[in-house]
Chains A and B, each alone.
Chain A
Amino acid sequence: DAGVIQSPRHEVTEMGQEVTLRCKPISGHDYLFWYRQTMMRGLELLIYFNNNVPIDDSGMPEDRFSAKMPNASFSTLKIQPSEPRDSAVYFCASSFQGAITEAFFGQGTRLTVV
């Protein structure tokens, strides 16, 4: 397996534009997590899914952020409209419950909003 795959690796966008980040979890994993990392706040859990269903979105900063998981192999994190303070590295991770439940992280998407 290629691991958790995120795209794009880098995204530069203008304030007010819509941004969509994509994630393909490891095949067979039933949990998917979205994290955001900044120097000021470190790694923050935004939302996680179990079997494609959002379980806890209490970390989503505001209504401009939304996440979906239409099937077991794909998830998106959307920001609309984007703001400069959304600039961060966004990580996706997946895990399998019932086994050794460590989470495997993707390489991240570095988002810059100008």
Chain B
Amino acid sequence: DAKTTQPPSMDCAEGRAANLPCNHSTISGNEYVYWYRQIHSQGPQYIIHGLKNNETNEMASLIITEDRKSSTLILPHATLRDTAVYYCIVRVHTGNQFYFGTGTSLTVIP
């Protein structure tokens, strides 16, 4: 049970910001939002996670709405190497199952 909804695909011009949305309308108060990506033929790679505050790291920013029912992953300056499938996951911070949905296939266009 992935508990998240994402658009199946998106395009982004190289150098522009990529904004990937995720709906998680049934999220519980103790569930975190995690983002992973999977570049072709590789294992999924952790990007970022958050509970209710916006988060930023060297890879991306995570914006979570005040009601926590949706979030957006932002890649500030997309490169061709960011072409991948991006997964949005909700899970309890100390719970241990990561359930992956179908994700968003992001294509960065030169």
**A10–B99 alpha-carbon span in the complex (Å):** 25
Residues of A within 8 A of B99 (CB): 45
Chain B contacts of A33 at CB under 8 A?
Answer: 96-98
Residues of B within 8 A of A108 (CB): 41-43
Query: Which residues in A have their C-beta under 8 angstroms from that of B96?
Result: 31, 33, 48, 50, 55, 95, 97, 101
A18 to B49, CA, bound (A): 39
A107 engages B42 (CB within 8 Å): yes
User: What residues on A are CB-neighbors of B43 within 8 Å?
Assistant: 4, 91, 93, 105-108
- Alpha-carbon distance between A33 and B49 when the two chains are bound, in angstroms: 19
How far in angstroms is the closest Cβ of chain B from A88? 13
Chain A contacts of B49 at CB under 8 A?
A: 100, 102
Which residue of A has the minimal Cβ distance to B32? A101
**Is A43 an interface residue when CB atoms closer than 8 A count as contact?**
yes
A43, B44: Cβ atoms under 8 Å?
A: yes
Across the interface, A43 reaches (CB within 8 A) one of B41, B42, B100, namely B100
Shortest Cβ gap from B14 to chain A (Å): 26
**Which residues in A have their C-beta under 8 angstroms from that of B97?**
33, 45, 48, 56
Q: In the complex, what residues of A have CB within 8 A of residue B94's CB?
A: 97-98, 101
Nearest Cβ on chain A to B35's Cβ, whole angstroms: 10
Contacts of B103 in A (CB 8 A): 42
**Bound form: Cα–Cα A68–B97 in Å:** 18
Q: How far is the CB of B99 from chain A (nearest CB, A)?
A: 6
A103 adjacent to chain B (CB < 8 Å): yes
12 contacts between A and B (CB under 8 A): A42-B102, A43-B87, A55-B96, A56-B97, A91-B43, A98-B94, A100-B49, A101-B96, A102-B46, A103-B44, A106-B43, A108-B41
